Amino acid sequence: MAWLGGLASITFRKLTPAEIIALVKQTPLAGIEWGGDIHVPHGDVKRAAEVGRMTRDAGLAVSAYGSYYGETDRLVFERVLDSAVALGAPVIRIWAGRKGSAAAGRQIAFEFHGGSLADTPESCLRLLQAVNHPAVFTYWQPPSRRALRIA
């Protein structure tokens, strides 16, 4: 995806989406990241669809959905995803947890599994190369549902 010059709606928390769109239209910016805390509340898919339509009708792009997933345990990811899809956001911004990297000390393993971003050896390798972090690796399993026979 090409980078779009834009702004995050949370910069103007007290303004309505229509007012933010009008402001952005006065600039050379091309897109808006809509925040999930005020302007496009998590799980309000009707509002998300409306704000997405308003943005596109103004000739602007929805560059991202600024969620607060990961910042609080109270937020359910499905509500974030539903809002992002209804908004038409190609990116969901999340928080990377509530601990600094030195305190976290955990690893992440992607499962090699059909129907995921790690569903072929090639796609799994691309994912690992894109992440490029020593704490990220994969778990592998046979790509078949049949039980393995051991002789």
33 forms bridges with which residues in the sheet? 8, 64
- In 3-state terms the chain splits into helix, strand, coil percentages (rounded to 5) of 35, 15, 50
Domain count, the chain: 2
Does 147 map to a domain? no
- In this prediction, residue 40 carries a pLDDT of 97
Same domain for 57 and 126, yes or no, is no
Interstrand relation of 92-93 and 31-35 (parallel, antiparallel or unpaired):
unpaired
Question: 108-111 and 92-93: which strand pairing?
Answer: unpaired
pTM summary value: 0.72
Q: Name the β-bridge partners of 64.
A: 33
Handedness of CA 112, 116, 120, 124 (dihedral sign): negative
* pLDDT tens by residue, 71-126: 777 889 999 999 999 999 999 998 877 788 777 777 888 888 888 888 888 998 99
- Measured CA to CA, the distance from residue 97 to residue 10 in angstroms comes to 20
Q: Over range 40-63, report the average pLDDT.
A: 97
Q: What is the extent of the structural domain holding 85?
A: 6-93
